[in-house]
Structure 1
Amino acid sequence: MGLTSKTVLALAILAATLLFLGTIVFWPRLARRNWRAVGGRTALLLATQVAVFASVGLAVNQSFGFYASWDDLLGKETDQGVVVDQSTGAHRGFQVLSTQSVDVPGGHLPRVGGQIQKIGVVGKKTGITSPAYVYLPPEYFQRQYAKRAFPVVVVLTGYPGTAQALVSKLDFPDTAHKLARDGRAQPMILVMMRPTVAPPRDTECVDVPGGPQTETFFARDLPAALASHYRVGPGPGGWGIIGDSTGGYCALKIAMHHPRAYTAAVGLSPYYKAPVDATTGDLFQGDKRLEREADLEWYAENRPAPDVSLLVTTSRHGETNYAATMRFVDLVKVRAPTRISTIVLESGGHNFNTWRREIPASLEWLSQRLTDH
């Protein structure tokens, strides 16, 4: 049974409940002071606490999608290899692994609900391998749009995060479908993935000296791979990028550093400087220029302003990035031609519920700034 299985969660809750009741029932019998009674009390208390913590942990993981599997939890993520059969004429470094329908009325028909494709991408320049989920809107399969190229939005999770959570927890495909159906946004292709392309290491979308070239993968390899397979335009005017937390930092940085790849970026509860800790390792290897340019406040103040549109979100109560976000906005808004917008909630924590409140407006904002071809 998988880590995210409802059965596993139910069994954990059942075990915690039975152990709690057992503690109440057997406690009088274990009230003596001999070693067996003391050992029994200790074992019951420890077992109950472990079961309770396991239940809470499993429930939180199901709600926020931190880990997708036991291997992911234990740092043994193996979903890296992508085999492309060259005899079929498939493009090198790209393969559609599976497809699924969108959870909307009539969604089993691609021309009605669109389609979600799980793909594998191998960066031709970086050699990085990463899975992703691609949402294709219904119009992609409709005859009257057969020659149309669609705008693309790359969607990034936080760290550690799972790409599946963008589909099932944050509801990006359903939201994009509804916005387009209601005329609030144009049909867009969504490419949903985690920025953790070298798990379990958190590379913060940095080109690590002697390590994973993560920034180059998202700025060059990914657009090239998608353009080789889907009807998307080659120019930056049709490309946007959005992410939450670590993904939000990555989205802003990649667009600011690479305005010829992405014309618009959204940071949902982002931070503005790459941390260096146990999960990242030494990202910069003593390269001070690389370290400074990974600091978005420094970059906004010291480098030529890129011709991009940025949207950042925060809340006055519940987010720790409020002061940093307001400082970043003040720096950027006077640095034409960069344009910046904000979503500031009165309250909202650093979690899925807050981001679900911000995603519809963010996708609508992106739609207004992307062009089809």
Structure 2
Amino acid sequence: MGLTSNKVLALAIVFAVLLFFGTVWYWPRLARRNWQAVSGRVGLLFATQLSIFASLGLFANQSFGFYASWSDLFGQDTGQGVVVDNGATGASGGAVQVVGTQTVNVAGGGQPQIGGQIQRITIFGAKTHIATPAYVYLPPEYFQPQFRTRSFPVGVVLTGYPGTAEALIKGLKYPQTAHDLSKSGKMQPMILVMLRPTVVPPRDTECVDIPGGPQVETFFAKDLPDSIKSHYKRVGVRPAGWGIIGDSTGGYCALKFAMHHPDVYAAAVGLSPYFKAPIDPTTGDLFHGNKDLQNRADLMWYLKHMPAPNTSLLVTSSKHGEFHYKATLKFIQQVRANKVTRISSLILDSGGHNFNTWLREIPGSLQWLSGRLSDR
């Protein structure tokens, strides 16, 4: 059973409850002062507390999507270093391979013409040789005959770090929200490409083209759009039809991609973003002494020293509970000063760096993103 399985969580809770009552029941029998009784008490307390912490950890992982599998949790993910063929499509099976489908959790979701469809795919990057899993949400209109000649704008959706793509569906409910907003006429139907920015796990690359290492920024600026366009023939082909949104690390990456590549992404949303790539044990040496690359990864520096990008940005934060609030205000001020880049903001009175806050911000953010994209 997988790490995110409901059965695993249920078994952990049942086991913790049984251990708790077992400890209460056997405690009087272990009240003596010999080493066997003391060892028994220590063992029961340790096992009970461990089971409770395991249950809480599994529940937190279910809610916030930190790790996708046991191998991901223990740093044994085998997704790094996948090499693909250098053909025109990047791989023998094509630049995108669909490996499964699932329904959208909405009324009538069992029928694609009503609820749309979620496809689990693998994206193969012809230029970077990076391969990564992702999910694609296709709106109901994609399957309705009256829209068979219509193309659709695309929103790339990124998690934080470590994050899981599944959390964008189960925890942050992007497909359900997009479906409901479109059905109510608050946003246009959009295709969502959902994945985590950690495309070479477990390393946190901060979406940087690392010298001598993974070319992650190039993957998102070149390979991902090319792959999606080659497989899904009814997506927007112009930059005006592509936007990107993410939270935390994903928010930083989204803003950076739109600023560095306005010819690829017409708009970007950063939910609780930060504005400079950190260097820590999860990232390793990202820049290898390349000061220019390090400066480009600093969005504040980029606004001061590089030509203003012709793109639209939205940043979100909270006055109380969000530790990047002051930096967000400074970023907004710097963008306004260049008079080319368009900036919007969504500021809550309170809210932490967590799913609950982002769930409050996603509907408005998707509406904003939809309003700045065109499939024509």
TM class, shorter-length: over 0.9
Determine if the alignment matches structure 1 residue 304 to structure 2 residue 307. Answer: yes
Query: Equivalences for 1:282-361 in 2 at 5 Å?
Result: 282-361=285-364
Match of 2:263 in 1: 260
8 Å Cα contact 1:115/1:138 also seen in 2: yes
Question: 1:283-313 CA distances to partner (integer Å, 9 max, x unpaired)?
Answer: 1111111111111111112211100110011
Q: Which stretch of structure 1 is more off in the superposition, 91-100 or 237-246?
A: 91-100
C-alpha displacement of 1:16: 2.0
C-alpha displacement of 1:85: 12
3-state DSSP of counterpart to 2:338: coil
Match of 1:22 in 2: 22
**Cα-Cα RMSD:** 2.1
> What is the identity, as a one-letter code, of the residue corresponding to 2:298?
D
Residue 97 of structure 2, aligned match among 77, 95, 98: 95
Provide closer, same or farther for how the CA distance between residues 106 and 287 of structure 1 changes in structure 2, counting only shifts above 3 A: same
Provide closer, same or farther for how the CA distance between residues 165 and 286 of structure 1 changes in structure 2, counting only shifts above 3 A: same
Residue 373 of structure 2, aligned match among 351, 370, 373: 370
Q: How far apart, CA to CA, are the structure 2 residues paired with 1:265 and 1:2?
A: 33
Provide closer, same or farther for how the CA distance between residues 227 and 358 of structure 1 changes in structure 2, counting only shifts above 3 A: same
3-state DSSP of counterpart to 1:334: helix
Q: Which stretch of structure 1 is more off in the superposition, 271-280 or 211-220?
A: 271-280
8 Å Cα contact 1:77/1:199 also seen in 2: yes
C-alpha displacement of 1:21: 2.7
Match of 2:65 in 1: 65
C-alpha displacement of 1:70: 1.1
8 Å Cα contact 1:137/1:187 also seen in 2: yes
8 Å Cα contact 1:91/1:228 also seen in 2: no
> What is the identity, as a one-letter code, of the residue corresponding to 1:39?
S
Determine if the alignment matches structure 1 residue 163 to structure 2 residue 159. Answer: no
Query: Equivalences for 1:70-219 in 2 at 5 Å?
Result: 70-78=70-78, 92-219=94-221
> What is the identity, as a one-letter code, of the residue corresponding to 1:163?
A
Gaps of 5+ in 1: none
> What is the identity, as a one-letter code, of the residue corresponding to 1:9?
L
Q: How far apart, CA to CA, are the structure 2 residues paired with 1:308 and 1:91?
A: 34
Provide closer, same or farther for how the CA distance between residues 66 and 29 of structure 1 changes in structure 2, counting only shifts above 3 A: same
Q: How far apart, CA to CA, are the structure 2 residues paired with 1:39 and 1:91?
A: 59
Q: How far apart, CA to CA, are the structure 2 residues paired with 1:261 and 1:250?
A: 14
> What is the identity, as a one-letter code, of the residue corresponding to 1:292?
N
Question: 1:324-344 CA distances to partner (integer Å, 9 max, x unpaired)?
Answer: 111111111111210111111
Gaps of 5+ in 2: none
3-state DSSP of counterpart to 1:343: strand
Q: How far apart, CA to CA, are the structure 2 residues paired with 1:10 and 1:225?
A: 39
> What is the identity, as a one-letter code, of the residue corresponding to 2:54?
A
Provide closer, same or farther for how the CA distance between residues 30 and 207 of structure 1 changes in structure 2, counting only shifts above 3 A: same
> What is the identity, as a one-letter code, of the residue corresponding to 1:22?
G
TM-score (norm: length of structure 2): 0.94
Provide closer, same or farther for how the CA distance between residues 42 and 267 of structure 1 changes in structure 2, counting only shifts above 3 A: same
Q: How far apart, CA to CA, are the structure 2 residues paired with 1:101 and 1:369?
A: 28
3-state DSSP of counterpart to 1:333: helix
Percent of aligned pairs with the same amino acid: 65
C-alpha displacement of 1:91: 6.5
> What is the identity, as a one-letter code, of the residue corresponding to 1:94?
V
Match of 2:53 in 1: 53
C-alpha displacement of 1:27: 3.1
8 Å Cα contact 1:114/1:141 also seen in 2: yes
Match of 2:246 in 1: 243
C-alpha displacement of 1:19: 2.4
Q: Which stretch of structure 1 is more off in the superposition, 5-14 or 291-300?
A: 5-14
Q: Which stretch of structure 1 is more off in the superposition, 161-170 or 247-256?
A: 161-170
8 Å Cα contact 2:95/2:230 also seen in 1: no
3-state DSSP of counterpart to 1:270: coil
C-alpha displacement of 1:132: 1.0
> What is the identity, as a one-letter code, of the residue corresponding to 2:102?
Q
C-alpha displacement of 1:261: 0.4
Query: How many residues in Structure 1 have an aligned counterpart in Structure 2?
Result: 372
Q: How far apart, CA to CA, are the structure 2 residues paired with 1:298 and 1:274?
A: 12
8 Å Cα contact 1:84/1:95 also seen in 2: no
